[in-house]
Structure 1
Amino acid sequence: MSQMLSLAVPLVLLVGWLTRARFGVVAVAGVAGSASAGVTVGVWAAGRWLEEDRWAGAVGLAEIASLLLLLVLTLRIESGRRSAAVAYTIGGAAALWPSRFEVISGPASWLMLFGFGSAMALPTVLVGLYLRGMDDARRRSVAAARRAQRLELAHDLHDFVAHDVSGMVAQAQAGMVLAGSDPVRAAALFERIEQTGQQALTSLDRTVRLLRSDEADLPERGPRPGLAELTSLTERFAESGGAVVRLDAPTDQDIPREVAATAYRIVVEALTNVRRHAPAAHVVDVRVRREGRRLEVLVRDDGGGPQPSGPRLGEVVRGGSGLAGLGARVEALGGTLCSGRAQAGGWQVKATMPLEGR
């Protein structure tokens, strides 16, 4: 009769595992640990097992292994009082399991049980805590990556959509001036306004979809624009009624992608600021050159409007959005970005970035 008690915990484990979706693994582990301790007490009352009862011992060892596995799962998925209570319950049940074969008599027997329980439970607890630590680190890493990606998308929204919208405003202003005197040019301007608006809407729609997407279904981002797209960028700026742009940029393709993309964004933001703050500027110089192992980006206008507020030339731009946000990006690449009044008048943006990374 006493040996039949060895089947009680396996039955509890089977029923509990089949109903874990409803009650949870932690509850199943707690009930199984309590059942194991109850079986031990029942064996004390019904009569201890003999060493010759091998099948009962084998079932008991499988019982201990199952309980320890449940303890690992519990500590991995949950922290707090519930998991601590389960750990104490299963640890106590494992420590008392040898007493199903021997009568507890004196401090030596209690010390033996304590050592057996510690040898079983302590490594299990450490494994469970280690796995939970790995899971927490992975979740933090994923969350940090998602925050960085969403911040990147916010920068895209500011840099590219704001540039397109400011171009639409400039073209609309020029179109109103030409509407009476030169309807043909005005119609061409309004056509470009439509094209720019469609491009801005596409960028805005894509950014919003990315911000709303869960991580599992985030669509792939397209290739980042680089130095090769500077020509079309400056041409669109000049066609929108802005100043004449004199571009001097390298044609080689061995510039690192991150550096080239950052250089492109600096030019976009600088031209947008020219359109906003210096609408009367006649000439904008855009120069992108390799200086040894560094890439230098310089955007300078000839003035013709109220000067934007900002740091003096030579001061490093940090934090915030716009040029300040780009300053943080350039600094992360190991370079510097400065913005201020040029000596010959107008406004100047200058950035220097290493070609080999930080």
Structure 2
Amino acid sequence: MTMTQILSGVVLVLVPPAWVARGRYGAAAVTMALGAASVVVTVAVWLLGRWAEGQRWAGLAGLVELAVLLLSVVVSLRAEDGPRCAAAAWTACGAVALWPSRFAFVEGPADTLTLFGFGSMLSLPAVLVGLYLRGLDEGRREAVAEARRAQRLELAHDLHDFVAHDVSGMVAQAQAGAYLAGIDPAGAAEMFQRIEQAGQRALASLDRTVQLLRSEEQGDRGPQPGLAELAEVAERFTATGGVNVRLELPEEPVPREVEGTVHRIVVESLTNVRRHAPAARAVEIRACRSGGRLELTVTNDGRAPGPAGRPRRGGGSGLPGLAARVEALGGSLEAGPYEREAWRVTAVLPLEEAGTGPA
């Protein structure tokens, strides 16, 4: 094996160990090492004698070497950023530009410009591809981070909507149980069992929500509650005592995001009835399709305090947060007094805009 063959394979021999070391030292360090090795080979060729154009082995190995250097530039620019990455890219691109000088002497400005043009022609596309891929990766990471933030905000709303509903029911049952303890011990015992069940549901919701909020990876939340689950919500609310819930739902299917929003509005409305309308004895929940819209009304016969025409803001972030969610879907939500001592929550949600057509 001649010295020419040995020199032409130096960089290729270094590729496997450099690839193994990439995980420890980073792609930029590997690119700089390969580029420096290529420059050293070029200088050695200058000192030992230029290659002849008819040496096929040297030419073939050199082309593979160029491909390796350009690929390492793409990988390093995609994986890293900063001065170290820039230095690595300059080193590798410089090695690419110097590669033709292994076959001919550089004499005068014309040859220098030829080397510069050769290096630019090969290096510039590699640099642009690496920067483009890094931009795609950064955009993807930002999109994932934004999705996680939105998910955490949604989970915070879930924590308010569902846990507050169970806790408010526990408070009402505890008050009733304290009253029944002296006159109906059996009824009081049953009431305390319901309080225990509601507490277990609230704790389970808290555990799931906090676990997902703490997780760095996007969790699988499973299917979101919709219209089908409202019957159970109404039965459970009625079973806590004192308020009879009448439920009317559409038979035709509606978009899933509309179902989830309707479920949240109903749960929040029932929670507010428990908190702010202790005199209420009946709640009517009515959801019906009207043209391309779904109209939802939740009416109780015991007025809750709050300004008319807008969601009440004194008791928490439930209805204001739901109003923003409804507006994001292209609908509207209002809450206010209705017919003497009643209170009504009204939501209008578009169906076609939400991504549904005829069932």
On whether the aligned pair clears a TM of 0.5, the verdict is yes
Name the residue aligned to 1:326.
322
After TM superposition, the structure 1 = structure 2 runs for residues 143-182 of structure 1, keeping only pairs within 5 Å, are 143-182=145-184
Aligned counterparts of 1:116 and 1:352: Cα–Cα separation in 2: 65
* Correspondent of 2:63 among 58, 61, 64: 61
* Unpaired stretches in structure 1, ≥5 consecutive residues: none
Evaluate the alpha carbon distance shift between residue 249 and residue 9 of structure 1 in structure 2; reply closer, same or farther with a 3 A threshold: closer
Q: Is the 8 A contact 1:26 1:82 kept in 2?
A: yes
Residues 94-125 of structure 1 deviation map (CA, whole Å, 9 limit, x = unaligned): 11111111111122111111110011100111
After TM superposition, the structure 1 = structure 2 runs for residues 117-136 of structure 1, keeping only pairs within 5 Å, are 117-136=119-138
Aligned counterparts of 2:15 and 2:321: Cα–Cα separation in 1: 57
Q: Is the 8 A contact 2:285 2:296 kept in 1?
A: yes
Report SS of the residue matched to 2:294.
strand
Evaluate the alpha carbon distance shift between residue 130 and residue 316 of structure 1 in structure 2; reply closer, same or farther with a 3 A threshold: farther
Q: Residue 328 of structure 1 aligns to which amino acid in structure 2? A: A
Question: Scaled by the length of structure 2, what TM-score is found?
Answer: 0.90
Name the residue aligned to 2:301.
302
Residues 299-344 of structure 1 deviation map (CA, whole Å, 9 limit, x = unaligned): 122236xx444x5315799xx8311111121112111111223352
Q: Is the 8 A contact 1:76 1:131 kept in 2?
A: yes
After TM superposition, the structure 1 = structure 2 runs for residues 19-168 of structure 1, keeping only pairs within 5 Å, are 19-168=21-170
Evaluate the alpha carbon distance shift between residue 333 and residue 59 of structure 1 in structure 2; reply closer, same or farther with a 3 A threshold: same
Aligned counterparts of 2:200 and 2:50: Cα–Cα separation in 1: 83
The answer to whether residue 217 in structure 2 is matched with residue 215 in structure 1 is: yes
Could you tell me how far 1:242 is from its partner in structure 2?
3.7
Aligned counterparts of 1:261 and 1:66: Cα–Cα separation in 2: 53
Aligned counterparts of 2:230 and 2:23: Cα–Cα separation in 1: 57
Q: Is the 8 A contact 2:27 2:80 kept in 1?
A: no
Could you tell me how far 1:254 is from its partner in structure 2?
1.3
Question: Scaled by the length of structure 1, what TM-score is found?
Answer: 0.90
Could you tell me how far 1:205 is from its partner in structure 2?
2.0
Report SS of the residue matched to 1:215.
coil
Name the residue aligned to 1:256.
255
**4+ residue stretches of structure 1 with deviation over 6 A?**
none
Q: Residue 289 of structure 1 aligns to which amino acid in structure 2? A: C
Could you tell me how far 1:213 is from its partner in structure 2?
3.4
Q: Is the 8 A contact 2:311 2:319 kept in 1?
A: no
Q: Is the 8 A contact 2:311 2:323 kept in 1?
A: no
Name the residue aligned to 2:277.
278
Report SS of the residue matched to 2:120.
helix
Could you tell me how far 1:241 is from its partner in structure 2?
2.7
Aligned counterparts of 1:165 and 1:315: Cα–Cα separation in 2: 21
Name the residue aligned to 1:228.
228
The answer to whether residue 242 in structure 2 is matched with residue 246 in structure 1 is: no
* Unpaired stretches in structure 2, ≥5 consecutive residues: 355-359
Evaluate the alpha carbon distance shift between residue 59 and residue 291 of structure 1 in structure 2; reply closer, same or farther with a 3 A threshold: same
